[in-house]
């Protein structure tokens, strides 16, 4: 059995920062096309339903069911853009030949069916497992605690399959089952470290995002009214989320390089 490579989160974060800095213009172009524009399109063509503070759970459920029933085709189509954007970024960051945006897009489109199929297989494995775990735990625990514990346990397989994207984009593996198995191999012994690394970064981002949007919300109330206020707010939120997602993808690339033993000869390092 081969030795397990232990993730160094400090080195991975430094590597992610270097990759973003070295490929800033390329990543900005990709983020704009695949994250910001689809987000704005969703805000225009499939806006989130309005919720009021006095609504009951049944009313909220009814509103959400109606929203997804009417907007599902648009939401499914728009969901493919972030997937393609992530794979495009990974192709750009992991390819040592430093491809152009168009070359990275072509690579990502070839990898997208495999990645999409892998995500469906992962969901088909995780969702029934989560329901079974929650049902079993609910026999001895309150429902909310049972659901929380079941979701917590499921973080393990989620972390083990976190590198399916880099495997598909970086190793050009087109078999989704092979990509999932490769992600499990690479992440062996590091699920907790990956969760801590990504979880801390995500927490910091959420704090910054909340503070910025709070300030932006106050400014927008003073300047705009009605629909323009909503659309400008959605645009600012989309830019912030695109930045956060770009760093998340760079973190995945850094984790993959470190654990797969490909740290040498990488873009921007």
> pLDDT per residue over 206-253, tens digit each?
999 999 999 988 888 888 777 778 788 888 999 999 999 999 999 999
- Nearest 5°: CA angle at 30, between 27 and 31? 85
Are 152 and 159 a contacting pair, CB within 8 Å?
no
Residue 203 lies in a domain: yes
Range of the domain at 63: 13-260
Residue 35 lies in a domain: yes
Residue 6 lies in a domain: no
In angstroms, rounded to a whole number, what is the distance separating the alpha carbons of residues 32 and 68?
A: 26
Angle between helices 164-171 and 101-138 (to 10 degrees): 150
Compute and round to an integer the Cα radius of gyration of the chain. Answer: 20
Look at residue 185 in the predicted model and tell me its pLDDT.
93
Residue 266 lies in a domain: no
Residue 3 lies in a domain: no
The distance of Cα 221 from the centroid of its chain, to the nearest Å, equals 30
Residue 7 lies in a domain: no
166 by Cβ neighbours in 10 Å (0-12 / 13-18 / 19+) ranks as buried
Look at residue 266 in the predicted model and tell me its pLDDT.
43
- Tokens standing for residue 94: 């992991």
Residue 227 lies in a domain: yes
Kindly give the parts of the chain with pLDDT less than 70: 1-3, 50-54, 262-269
Are 241 and 2 a contacting pair, CB within 8 Å?
no
Number of domains the chain is built from: 1
In angstroms, rounded to a whole number, what is the distance separating the alpha carbons of residues 63 and 47?
A: 13
Residue 4 lies in a domain: no
In angstroms, rounded to a whole number, what is the distance separating the alpha carbons of residues 138 and 127?
A: 16
Look at residue 168 in the predicted model and tell me its pLDDT.
93
């Amino acid at each position: 059995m081969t030795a397990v490579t232990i993730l160094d989160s400090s080195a991975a974060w430094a590597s992610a920062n270097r990759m973003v800095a070295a490929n800033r213009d390329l990543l900005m172009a990709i983020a704009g096309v695949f994250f910001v524009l689809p987000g704005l399109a969703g805000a225009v063509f499939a806006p989130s339903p309005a919720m009021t503070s006095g609504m009951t759970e049944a009313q909220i459920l009814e509103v959400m069911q109606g929203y997804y029933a009417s907007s599902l085709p648009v939401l499914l189509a728009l969901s493919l853009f972030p997937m393609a954007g992530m794979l495009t970024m990974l192709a750009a960051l992991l390819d040592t030949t430093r491809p152009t945006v168009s070359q990275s897009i072509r690579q990502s489109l070839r990898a997208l069916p495999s990645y999409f199929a892998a995500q469906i297989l992962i969901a088909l494995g995780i969702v029934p497992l989560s329901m079974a775990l929650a049902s079993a735990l609910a026999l001895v625990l309150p429902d909310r605690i049972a659901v929380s514990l079941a979701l917590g346990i499921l973080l393990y397989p989620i972390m083990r399959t976190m590198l399916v994207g880099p495997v598909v984009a970086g190793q050009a593996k087109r078999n989704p089952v092979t990509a999932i198995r490769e992600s499990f191999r690479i992440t062996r012994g590091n699920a907790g470290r990956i969760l801590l690394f990504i979880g801390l970064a995500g927490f910091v981002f959420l704090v910054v995002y909340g503070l910025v949007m709070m300030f932006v919300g106050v400014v927008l109330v003073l300047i705009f009214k009605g629909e323009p206020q909503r659309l400008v707010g959605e645009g600012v939120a989309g830019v912030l989320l695109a930045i956060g997602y770009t760093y998340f993808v760079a973190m995945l690339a850094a984790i993959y390089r470190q654990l797969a033993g490909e740290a040498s000869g990488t873009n921007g390092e």
